[in-house]
Amino acid sequence: MSDSRARPALVDVGGGTGNYSAALRELGMRPVVADVDPGMLAVAASKQLPVVRTDAAALPFADRSVDAVLLCSMLHHVPDWAQALAEACRVARPGGRVVLMAFTREHLEVHWIMEYFPETTAHFVDAHQTMDDLTRALPGASATPVRYEDLVDGSMAALCRHPELLLDPDIRRQTSYFDHAETDHPDELAAGVRALDRDLAAGRHPDDEVAEVRDRIGDAVVLTWTAPAS
Ligand SMILES: C[S@@+](CC[C@H](N)C(=O)[O-])C[C@H]1O[C@@H](n2cnc3c(N)ncnc32)[C@H](O)[C@@H]1O
C-alpha cells in the first residue's frame, strides 16, 4: 500500500463513519476506514471512502505496508487492545506513524459528570487503559495532551465544560456513555440528573473543580509512535 510517490496511505482503525478519514483525505492522504461495525462503514462508504470490515486486533494488511495508522477514540471499545496496538505497529512501514488518541483512565477524573453515575461509570473505568498501559504498548511514543472544546460531536470531555448542557436529554443522548446509562441503569441516570440539577442550582461549579488536573493532562492524549527504520 505504501508508495512514497503517492499520497500517504493511512488506515483509520475504528474509523466509524469516516469523519477523520474524510478530513485527512482533504489534507492529501489516502485513508481506508477499518471498523467492525457494518452500519458505521456504510456511512463512511457513502462519503466515497474505501472501507474494510475488520477487528482492530487482526488487521488484513501486510507487515510494514502503510504510512500511518490512526486509532482515534476507539481503543476502550476493544477487549484485546494490546493486540490492536501490536497490529497497528506491525502494519506501519519503517518510519511510518501510529497515532493513538485516547481517553485514559486518568482522564476520566476530568470527566467529573461520571461521579453522578457510579454504576454506569464502573463499566467505563475498566474499559479504559491507564497512561502507563499505553506507553508500555507504544514504547518511545511522544505524548501530547489535547483539549476537547468542540461541542459538535457531543463528546463527554467537551460537554463537561458546560455542565448545564448535561441536563438536556437530547444532548446527553449524543454520547455512548449516556446511551449505556439509559439502557442499563435508567434509575441511576434519573437520580444522577436530579442531583446534578440540584447541585448546579446550589452554585456548584464542577468544571472548575477539575481545572488543575485538566490543565496538566488535557481532556485526552495523543500518542505518536514512529516505526523503527529497520
Ligand atoms: C467512539 S467510535 C470512534 C469513531 C472515530 N474513530 C471517531 O473518533 O470519530 C468507536 C469506533 O470503534 C469501532 N470499534 C469498536 N470495537 C472495534 C474493534 N474491535 N475493531 C475495530 N473497530 C472497532 C466502533 O465500531 C466505532 O466505530
pLDDT truncated to tens, each residue of the chain (230 aa)?
A: 544 447 789 999 999 999 999 999 999 999 999 999 999 999 999 999 999 999 999 999 999 999 999 999 999 999 999 999 999 999 999 999 999 999 999 999 999 999 999 999 998 888 899 999 999 999 999 999 999 888 876 688 889 999 999 999 999 988 888 998 999 999 999 999 999 999 999 999 999 999 999 999 999 999 999 999 97
Tell the residue number behind the cell numbers 472501507, with chain if given: 51
With the most atoms of ligand 1 within 8 angstroms of its CB, the residue from 35, 124, 148 to mutate is 35
Phi–psi pair at 183, nearest 5 degrees: -80, -45
Q: What is the pLDDT of residue 4?
A: 47
Cell reading at 140: 518511545
Ligand 1 contact, 55 CB (< 6 A): yes
Does 192 map to a domain? yes
Residues 69 and 82 in one domain: yes
Alpha helices in the chain (DSSP H): 19-26, 38-46, 81-91, 118-127, 131-137, 156-159, 169-172, 176-184, 186-201, 206-209, 211-217
Residues 156 and 92 in one domain: no
Residues 111 and 208 in one domain: yes
Q: How many domains does the chain have?
A: 2
Type of residue numbered 76: H
Residues 213 and 168 in one domain: yes
For the CA of 79, the closest atom of ligand 1 is 19
Residues 201 and 112 in one domain: yes
Q: What is the pLDDT of residue 151?
A: 80
Does 139 map to a domain? no
Residues belonging to the chain: 230
Phi–psi pair at 220, nearest 5 degrees: -160, 175
210 CA to middle of ligand 1, Å? 28
Residues 73 and 158 in one domain: no
Ligand 1 contact, 15 CB (< 6 A): yes
Residues 45 and 71 in one domain: yes
199 is in which domain, residue-wise? Answer: 105-127+148-218
Residues 111 and 214 in one domain: yes
Residues 71 and 123 in one domain: no
Does 132 map to a domain? no
Residues 116 and 60 in one domain: no
Give SS3 for 153. Answer: coil
For the CA of 16, the closest atom of ligand 1 is 27
70 CA to middle of ligand 1, Å? 11
The CATH number of whichever domain residue 41 belongs to comes to 3.40.50.150
14 CA to middle of ligand 1, Å? 3
Contact (CB, 8 A) for 143 and 223: yes
Give SS3 for 225. Answer: strand
Ligand 1 contact, 19 CB (< 6 A): yes
21 CA to middle of ligand 1, Å? 13
Does 225 map to a domain? no
Does 133 map to a domain? no
Q: What is the pLDDT of residue 154?
A: 67
195 CA to middle of ligand 1, Å? 32
Ligand 1 contact, 165 CB (< 6 A): no
Residues 169 and 122 in one domain: yes
Residues 113 and 208 in one domain: yes
Ligand 1 contact, 22 CB (< 6 A): no
Q: What is the pLDDT of residue 3?
A: 47
